[in-house]
Chain A
């Protein structure tokens, strides 16, 4: 009888321990991997291509600030087998700032480019390592967005102002 009580108590304790462990792991702060660097990386985006020439003028930019001419479409396609995204995103030659573009789906960074400089466009980009495992074929139309992080071209410092653009992402095999 005593041993049965002991075993039952032990079992209850084990279950309690398991429940507590899983609760603590769930409460553990999720590592925020959505933060782009404070200073721009030296390497420019390998998939970027030149856009057509502008008239040479620049956006009228307040002193100490920045500017971007965003040229884009808000619909993009992810090919899981290829681990790549097809998109149309560029910053016009009239821009002053450089840019790092992120594609975020449901708070997870799926794509993060290297530095895009004024007059460049990106039509394809690789998914972040392991991102393909987090996506399923279908359409992600809510909580999918571009984050445009601007960098000063002289100091490489990240600007205080960034842009967010809601997008629709179609994922296919």
Chain B
């Protein structure tokens, strides 16, 4: 009976030791030991835009100058569009993490459809940290006695997507 009891005690002792040895964290003289696990996670940055657009007053003057034609005996006239320095400029600076394009368009208000807009450097690409200027010049005839808004300029800022092939 005693032998049987001793055997059971030994078996219990062996099982207990096995359980202790298989634990991930052990205590040795009061110091806790264990595995340190880590996982590398990256929150990928999508397209992030930071674009500065500065624009002039977009105020233009249409001046008609009359002259006397003494050969044909009639009044002739010439017209010209003028503007002050920088007033016709749209400056674009790209601080985004993608290349962008900037494209300006002029939409004439009703009654001013004869006015034509031309943009220099229009549709230009701006890589990160690049900047540039789109300039507007007007042409065509302005109705007499006009003094005010004749249209709106829209600058479309889009991500540059290279053409395939």
Using CB atoms and an 8 Å cutoff, list the residues of chain A in contact with chain B: 59-75, 92, 94, 96, 147, 159-166
Most central of B52, B54, B157 by chain A CB within 10 Å: B54
Chain B residues with Cβ below 8 Å from A163 are 53, 154-157
CB of A70 within 8 A of CB of B52, answer yes
CB of B52 within 8 A of CB of A161, answer no
- In angstroms, Cα B47 to Cα A61, docked, is 27
CB of A161 within 8 A of CB of B155, answer yes
- In angstroms, Cα B48 to Cα A67, docked, is 20
Partner of B156, one of A63, A70, A72, A166: A166
- In angstroms, Cα B51 to Cα A94, docked, is 11
CB of B86 within 8 A of CB of A166, answer no
- In angstroms, Cα B91 to Cα A59, docked, is 10
Chain A's nearest CB lies how many Å from the CB of B129? 15
Interface set, chain B 124-165, CB cutoff 8 A to A: 149, 151-159
Chain A's nearest CB lies how many Å from the CB of B72? 40
CB of B55 within 8 A of CB of A74, answer no
Determine whether B59 belongs to the interface, using a CB cutoff of 8 Å to chain A: yes
Using CB atoms and an 8 Å cutoff, list the residues of chain B in contact with chain A: 46-59, 86-87, 89-91, 149, 151-159
- In angstroms, Cα B89 to Cα A97, docked, is 16
CB of B87 within 8 A of CB of A64, answer yes
Chain B residues with Cβ below 8 Å from A164 are 154-157
CB of A65 within 8 A of CB of B50, answer no
8 inter-chain pairs at a CB distance below 8 angstroms, sorted by A residue, are A59-B52, A67-B54, A68-B52, A70-B50, A70-B53, A75-B46, A163-B53, A166-B156
- In angstroms, Cα B159 to Cα A68, docked, is 18
Most central of A63, A65, A66, A70 by chain B CB within 10 Å: A65
Given contacts A62-B86, A62-B87, whether A67 and B157 have CB atoms under 8 Å apart is no
CB of A160 within 8 A of CB of B149, answer yes
Chain A residues with Cβ below 8 Å from B155 are 161-164
Chain B's nearest CB lies how many Å from the CB of A57? 11
Chain B residues with Cβ below 8 Å from A62 are 54-57, 86-87, 89
CB of A165 within 8 A of CB of B52, answer no
- In angstroms, Cα B158 to Cα A12, docked, is 53
CB of B55 within 8 A of CB of A161, answer yes
Chain A's nearest CB lies how many Å from the CB of B81? 15
Chain A's nearest CB lies how many Å from the CB of B136? 9
* Nearest A residue (CB) for B98: A74
Chain A residues with Cβ below 8 Å from B157 are 70, 163-165
Chain B's nearest CB lies how many Å from the CB of A94? 7
CB of A94 within 8 A of CB of B52, answer yes
CB of B50 within 8 A of CB of A71, answer yes
CB of B54 within 8 A of CB of A74, answer no
- In angstroms, Cα B110 to Cα A96, docked, is 30
CB of B154 within 8 A of CB of A74, answer no
